[in-house]
Chain A
Amino acid sequence: MKLKMLSLSLVTAVSLIFLSGCEMVVFQPQGPVARSIMELINWSLMWMLLVVVVVFGLFGYIVWKYREKPENMGYEPPEEHGSTVLEIVWTAIPILIVIALTIPTVTTLYDLEDVPAGYEEKEPIVIHVTSADWKWIFSYPEEGIETINYVNIPEDTPVLFKLTSAGTMQSFWVPALGGQKYSMNKMETELYLVADNPGSYMGRNTNFNGRGYAQMEFEVLAQTDEEYNAWVKEVKETAPELTEEKYMELLKPTHLGRLTYSNTHLAWINHAEHDSELVTDPEDYRYHGYQGKIFDQEEEKDTTDVENNEEDHGGDHSGH
């Protein structure tokens, strides 16, 4: 009964892997970064499958063979304390497996810090990513453009994403292109990605940051060089200018659709800098339930902003 159930669930599990495995985004890498991680995952899967097969096999065999049945009620098991040889064996084998997994893990970890192999000679494009509640802001400092909730990149070109956050902690993830990394206020983390082919890839936040978290997605559109350059040119010519007020408005906790601007917010604030101020307003986060005290933040407001500050924080917002 037990064994049948077990083998049944095993068979379903395995067939599920084969049925859906080929379609899962992590197993369909669209760039060298995601591909190197997938190779690591496949290598580990092989070993883990081996472990599962051995342990399940041994388990099934032992439980079946030594189960109590009417015929063996008279059988009294022998006294047995252990076996040094066997215990050394099953300590050594896992150690070997761990070593087999460690080596590629470490090399991949180091590789992922740099421009992906084979793309070193190409000048990477730098894109600053600022995550805010609950949108993604992409700034192209060279090109002088800014996009919200989508990012266009040229294919076959390494892109260096410099990640930071305007407030809460987020995690920047484009599973088809590579692994994720956190974006944090007053901090900058870096992530290289490359897209092999033109195409549209889903990107999203994976680090929970409040009510709007589930929808905090963006699109990565990989284009050919010509398409990309044409897009940049078009944005420069047609997109509106972002003003500081407008930008502060964007940072409020809201969902925005796609927006495009022909300049970047880096001109007046880079949230990655250690002494950048936190420009979000706790009043915007009042929601249901009993409200606690919010503390004055004058220490970190910079001096030019004092009058503004009075206005923002002095008023009574408890009606939310």
Chain B
Amino acid sequence: MGIKWDEILITGDPIILGSQIAILLTTLGIIGGLTYLKKWTWLWREWITTVDHKRIGIMYIVAAVLMFFRGGMDGLMMKAQTSRPEMSFLDAQHYNEVFTAHGVIMILFMAMPFLIGLMNVVIPLQIGARDVAFPQLNALSFWLFFSGAMLFNIAFVVGGAPDAGWTSYFPLAGKEFSPGIGNNYYAISLQIAGLGTLMTGINFIVTILKMRTKGMTLMRMPMFTWTTLITSVIIVAAFPIFTVALALMTFDRLYGTHFFTVAAGGSDMLWANLFWLWGHPEVYIVILPAFGMFSEIISTFSRKQLYGYKSMVVSIVAIAVLSMLVWVHHFYTMGSGALVNSFFSITTMMIAVPTGVKMFNWLFTMRKGRIKMTTAMLWSLAFVPNFVIGGVTGVMLAMGAADYQYHNTLFLVAHFHYVLIPGVVFAVFAGLYYWWPKMFGFMLNEKLGKWHFWLFVIGFNVTFMPMFFLGLNGAVRRAYTFSAESGFAPLFLLSAIGSVILAAGFAVFCYNIYWSIRYADRNISSDPWDARTLEWATASPVQHYNFAKLPEVKSLDAFWYMKKDNEGLTLKDEEIEEIHMPSNSGLPFLMCVAFGIVGFFLIFEWHLLAAISAVLIIAGLIYRSFDYNDGYHIHKDEIKKTEGAWRKMEGKVNNHVS
């Protein structure tokens, strides 16, 4: 096998040594803590083997927050390195690894799981269902994502981190120019996580199409459900492209084929095309659910129905279709000719039209409303102007000829952060403040929330606004340093200062979670925001079967009208029936371990070991095929007791909103 033991751990860099020690200590701390508190069985039973969509959602969110921390640290390290000209905090290689890790982690291991986590928690509730269509598959999705994410995250201490950018362009990412195994991490761990995402897409399409409660027609679905449906469709359309691209990349790197390597007639441009055929829809995969969450929150806190619901639906469908037709705008400069570039300039600019429609619909939802400035609403409000900046610069970049001057500069970096941070990060923060009480039965502190909000939003603008001007002045992306003569220094410094403010905002957010877990009032209403959709029609935290009696829907904003007409809110004893629920399963977690092992061996190119351990995966599949366990029933008494407990409390709760 020829394992080179001395090369496995990365040595010789103090920052990496520090991380290795920190990782070791944290792992020991977690293991020690769990053992000391005798929490192992609890962890296994309640979380690791769960198939409950709410718990899976929460695990996604926890993982995403941790990944946000990691990706954010990477961002800060880059900002520290470029805060002054000719800094020597990170060397070129290290900077390359850091921005690669940052890009991949932020998009695939932060934004995606955060949104998928919220989708998991909310969607079955919003459509009045008891779980997703395939609960165990859902758990497998999570564990595959987790497996991929963990593999990717150990790269920088074990074997070497990928360093060809999150786009991993060939020829650079091929063996001819990156012989280390770092980029194998990219190919393998994204493949594993991507499989999980694909399954999520399928699961949510089926869930939303087949499991809606009585009366919920497609045009009565809440906007977040709509955007999740369309997102899932894009996932199913786009992720297979990435799967194939990554598989070909794996063949090139591990087995010496030449799909993308220039050496024997492979095409580097093929990779760029395949990557962006997935990559552009991917940005809409993360932006559409965010749009849906803003729609819910803006409507709730303006106390008004979403304005132009139908045109909102048409817009997201139009965006989804267009998102598959614009990928070439990422490489206008490849010289494909004026005709091709004109076509893709036009399709790209056309996306601005449905997006504009949505913008105005949100604004008009608020008009004549009564806008309550909760933290969740503040994030949604800040989204509007900040995203407009991202949007208009996007239109500027869409203009092929102008892009010849913006391409690969910090103007582009500023643009996509202005889209991704207001579009996705503001959204998940808004969603977290909004649905937190539903998940945990207590609220996040609103006062700390406002500190979090202001620091983050101001810090964000101070960090990224200067980058537009740096880019127009010739500063390129992915450069680890710049010269003093370039004149970039003041704006780079300003941007670095901004990132510190941003980080302070994130710190307040973490403190808020800690504070609220310890001190927040547990005695709150199951509908603290006076909201409009069905997830608020049941207990907080939601009982594991979601609804004792499945609600019936007569209109859009079903819960709002149930409250208004005082209809369907109570539960009579004779309405209670036994509920059928799926059993827990340890298999998804074991598959995570199996995929992790196989992936690790493949990354190190120990093919024999990989082949042997692949038996584990096959064994798991076989085991699953013979698994006849079809769940269990919850007895009426238990339901009666659970329902009695939370229904009795309503009316005696404290209000923390106004």
Interface stretch (choices A98-106, A152-160, A304-312) = A98-106
Contact check: which of A20, A48, A105, A209 meets B469 at CB < 8 Å? A20
Contact check: which of A40, A66, A76, A90 meets B401 at CB < 8 Å? A40
Contact with B along A273-314 (1 / 0, CB 8 A): 000001010110111111111111101100000000000000
Report yes or no: B176 in contact with A16, Cβ–Cβ below 8 A: no
Distance (whole angstroms) from the CB of B531 to the closest CB of chain A: 15
The residue in chain B whose Cβ has the minimal distance to the Cβ of A188 is B335
Contact check: which of A2, A209, A299 meets B381 at CB < 8 Å? A2
Cβ contacts under 8 Å, B473 to chain A: 20, 23-26
Q: Is A186 an interface residue (CB 8 A)?
A: yes
Report yes or no: A94 in contact with B404, Cβ–Cβ below 8 A: no
Known A179-B404, A204-B476; judge A66-B302 contact (CB<8 A). Answer: yes
Report yes or no: B264 in contact with A299, Cβ–Cβ below 8 A: yes
Distance (whole angstroms) from the CB of A305 to the closest CB of chain B: 14
How many angstroms from the CA of A121 to the CA of B353 in the assembled complex? 43
How many angstroms from the CA of A286 to the CA of B178 in the assembled complex? 7
Report yes or no: B396 in contact with A292, Cβ–Cβ below 8 A: no
Tally inter-chain residue pairs, CB-CB below 8 A: 336
Known A167-B177, A280-B176; judge A44-B396 contact (CB<8 A). Answer: yes
Report yes or no: A110 in contact with B338, Cβ–Cβ below 8 A: yes
How many angstroms from the CA of A62 to the CA of B474 in the assembled complex? 38
Cβ contacts under 8 Å, B378 to chain A: 2
Report yes or no: B262 in contact with A185, Cβ–Cβ below 8 A: yes
Cβ contacts under 8 Å, A213 to chain B: 92, 478-479
Interface hits, B380-395 → A, CB 8 Å? 381, 384-385, 388-389, 392-393, 395
Interface hits, B336-357 → A, CB 8 Å? 337-338, 341-342, 345-346, 349-350, 352-353, 356-357
Report yes or no: B337 in contact with A62, Cβ–Cβ below 8 A: no
Report yes or no: B181 in contact with A290, Cβ–Cβ below 8 A: yes
Interface extent on B, as a size class?
35 or more
The residue in chain B whose Cβ has the minimal distance to the Cβ of A42 is B402
Cβ contacts under 8 Å, B389 to chain A: 52
How many angstroms from the CA of A271 to the CA of B182 in the assembled complex? 28
Report yes or no: A288 in contact with B4, Cβ–Cβ below 8 A: no
Distance (whole angstroms) from the CB of A70 to the closest CB of chain B: 10
Interface hits, B135-163 → A, CB 8 Å? 159-161, 163
Interface hits, B402-434 → A, CB 8 Å? 402-405, 407-409
Cβ contacts under 8 Å, B164 to chain A: 208
Q: Is A180 an interface residue (CB 8 A)?
A: yes
Task: Output the residue of B93, B178, B309, B474 with the most chain A CB within 10 A.
Answer: B474
Known A62-B367, A98-B353, A297-B263; judge A290-B604 contact (CB<8 A). Answer: yes
Report yes or no: A82 in contact with B361, Cβ–Cβ below 8 A: yes
Contact check: which of B7, B308, B366, B408 meets A66 at CB < 8 Å? B366
Cβ contacts under 8 Å, A283 to chain B: 179
Interface stretch (choices A53-61, A139-147, A224-232, A242-250) = A53-61
Q: Is B371 an interface residue (CB 8 A)?
A: yes
Cβ contacts under 8 Å, B254 to chain A: 292-293
Distance (whole angstroms) from the CB of B414 to the closest CB of chain A: 12
Contact with B along A16-45 (1 / 0, CB 8 A): 110011011111000000101110110011
The residue in chain B whose Cβ has the minimal distance to the Cβ of A9 is B461
Cβ contacts under 8 Å, A25 to chain B: 472-474
Q: Is A5 an interface residue (CB 8 A)?
A: yes
Contact check: which of A55, A98, A175, A205 meets B474 at CB < 8 Å? A175
Distance (whole angstroms) from the CB of A287 to the closest CB of chain B: 6
Contact check: which of A45, A83, A91, A105 meets B353 at CB < 8 Å? A91
Contact check: which of B92, B304, B400 meets A212 at CB < 8 Å? B92
7 nearest A-B pairs in the assembled complex, by CB-CB distance: A289-B160, A179-B404, A295-B256, A189-B335, A82-B308, A108-B401, A206-B408
A-B contact pairs, 5 of them (CB 8 A): A37-B405, A179-B404, A184-B269, A206-B476, A290-B4
Given contacts A82-B309, A208-B164, 19 further A-B contacts (CB under 8 A): A2-B381, A26-B472, A45-B396, A62-B367, A66-B369, A66-B370, A76-B303, A80-B307, A80-B368, A90-B360, A93-B356, A106-B345, A109-B338, A178-B404, A180-B333, A208-B165, A288-B12, A288-B160, A294-B179
